[in-house]
């Protein structure tokens, strides 16, 4: 995401994925002109079959569009390798005792601290619930095949609520019984489009556990301390 101008020249389809484990995952695709491309449900009954279904979908969309796909996935990119030692408290980073170490990544702490949403704090990789295990695998199978972004639709809705943004086309294919999920997939696709085209931004990443892509610029300056992970100073 650091070279958005260069990437935007190559990407021709923007795909959003809403991750579920007890009902089908939804997908929504837009092109560079924010024209509707496709939407629907990912097939599969297991984590692996759903993941391979996404891989096949991305290959098909990329082939039809004759360009790269950029995919926004509403799930954590990776699980925690260890419990978090740094907490954001009263406007500052605080290193806490071993008894207090908690879940969550830098990107989630930043989103929470900036008032953009309430994350479902990422857990240790070995203890993650099924839906996040699916998310981890979706990112893995797209490695080398597509540009991938972690998105957070709830935060995106909040950011877009009071801003002027391009119209986002809404086709109702796949919405029956999946309305909220399909809306989340749609805003995920738009978020990726916005980031690649210089309108959006990413937050977090200081702990090397991924960033969260957002469809607008942050409401604070780049110097804000919550945007800078203190771990390297330990």
Closest CA to 32 of 65, 74, 3, 72: 65
Residue ranges of domains in the chain: 4-77+128-202
The domain covering 4-77+128-202 belongs, at the CATH homologous superfamily level, to Ribonuclease H-like superfamily/Ribonuclease H (3.30.420.10)
- Supply φ then ψ for residue 71, to 5 degrees: -120, 125
**Per-position b or e across 180-213, b if 16+ CB within 10 A of its CB:** ebbbbbbbbbbbbbbbbbebbbbbbbbbebbbbb
Render pLDDT for 23-66 as a digit per residue (tens, 0 to 9): 999 999 999 999 999 999 998 999 999 999 999 999 999 999 88
Residue 181, pLDDT score = 96
What residues pair up with 124 in beta bridges, in sequence order? 80
pTM beyond 0.85: the answer is yes
| Beta carbons within 8 Å of 179's beta carbon, 6+ residues apart | none
pLDDT tens track, the chain, 234 positions: 443 444 444 899 999 999 999 999 999 999 999 999 999 999 899 999 999 999 999 999 999 988 899 999 999 999 999 999 999 999 999 998 766 668 999 999 999 999 999 999 999 999 999 999 999 999 999 999 999 999 999 999 999 998 999 999 999 988 888 999 999 999 999 999 999 999 999 999 999 999 999 999 999 999 999 999 997 544
Token duo for residue 24 = 């089908």
Alpha helices in the chain (DSSP H): 4-10, 47-65, 106-113, 130-141, 153-160, 179-196
Beta pairing class for 92-95 and 86-89: antiparallel
């Amino acid at each position: 995401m650091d070279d958005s101008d260069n990437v935007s020249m190559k990407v021709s389809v923007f795909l959003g994925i809403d991750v579920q484990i007890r009902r089908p995952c939804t997908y929504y695709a837009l092109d560079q002109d924010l024209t509707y491309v496709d939407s629907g449900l990912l097939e599969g009954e297991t984590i692996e079959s759903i993941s391979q279904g996404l891989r096949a979908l991305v290959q098909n969309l990329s082939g039809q569009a004759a360009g790269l796909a950029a995919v926004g996935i509403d799930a954590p990119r990776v699980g925690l390798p260890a419990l978090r030692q740094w907490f954001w408290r009263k406007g500052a980073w605080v290193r806490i005792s071993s008894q207090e170490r908690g879940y969550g990544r830098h990107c989630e702490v930043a989103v929470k601290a900036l008032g953009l949403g309430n994350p479902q704090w990422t857990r240790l990789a070995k203890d993650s619930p099924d839906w996040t295990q699916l998310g981890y695998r979706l990112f893995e199978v797209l490695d080398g095949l597509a540009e991938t972004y972690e998105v957070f639709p709830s935060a995106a809705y909040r950011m877009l609520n009071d801003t002027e943004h391009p119209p986002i086309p809404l086709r109702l294919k796949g919405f029956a019984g999946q309305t909220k999920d399909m809306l989340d997939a749609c805003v995920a696709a738009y978020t990726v489009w916005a980031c690649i085209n210089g309108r959006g931004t990413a937050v977090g990443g200081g702990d090397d556990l991924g960033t969260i892509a957002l469809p607008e610029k942050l409401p604070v300056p780049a110097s804000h301390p919550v945007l800078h992970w203190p771990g390297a100073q330990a």
